[in-house]
Amino acid sequence: MKFFVDSANIEEIKKLNEWGIISGVTTNPSLLSKEKGNPYDILRQICEIVKGPVSAEVTAVKFEEMVEEAHRLADIHPNIVVKIPFIEDGIKAIKYLSERGISVNTTLIFNPIQALIAARAGARYVSPFIGRLDDVGHDGLSIIKEIVEIFTIHEIETEVIAASIRHPRHVLMSALYGAHIATIPPNVFYQMIKHPLTDIGLQKFLEDWKKKEG
Ligand code: E4P
Residue ranges of domains in the chain: 2-213
pLDDT band at 213 (very low <50, low <70, confident <90, very high): confident
CA of 62 to the centre of ligand 1 (A): 22
To test ligand 1's pocket by mutation, which of 108, 164, 171 has the most ligand atoms within 8 angstroms of CB? 164
Measured from the CA of 55, which atom of ligand 1 is nearest?
A: 2
Task: Specify the fold of 2-213.
Answer: TIM Barrel (3.20.20)
Measured from the CA of 166, which atom of ligand 1 is nearest?
A: 11
Residues acting as catalytic residues: 83
Q: Where are the alpha helices (DSSP H) in the chain?
A: 10-17, 29-33, 39-49, 63-74, 88-99, 112-120, 130-135, 140-153, 168-176, 186-193, 196-211
Across the chain, mean pLDDT equals 98
User: 158: which DSSP letter?
Assistant: P
Contact 147, 180 (CB under 8 A): no
Q: Which whole number is the average pLDDT over 197-208?
A: 97
pLDDT band at 214 (very low <50, low <70, confident <90, very high): low
Q: Specify the residue with its C-alpha closest to ligand 1, atom 12.
A: 164
What is the pLDDT, as a whole number, of residue 198? 98
pLDDT band at 212 (very low <50, low <70, confident <90, very high): confident
Residues in a beta bridge with 161:
181
Mention every residue, 6+ apart, whose C-beta is less than 8 A from residue 142. Answer: none
What is the pLDDT, as a whole number, of residue 58? 98
163: Cβ below 6 Å to ligand 1? yes
Contact 67, 96 (CB under 8 A): yes
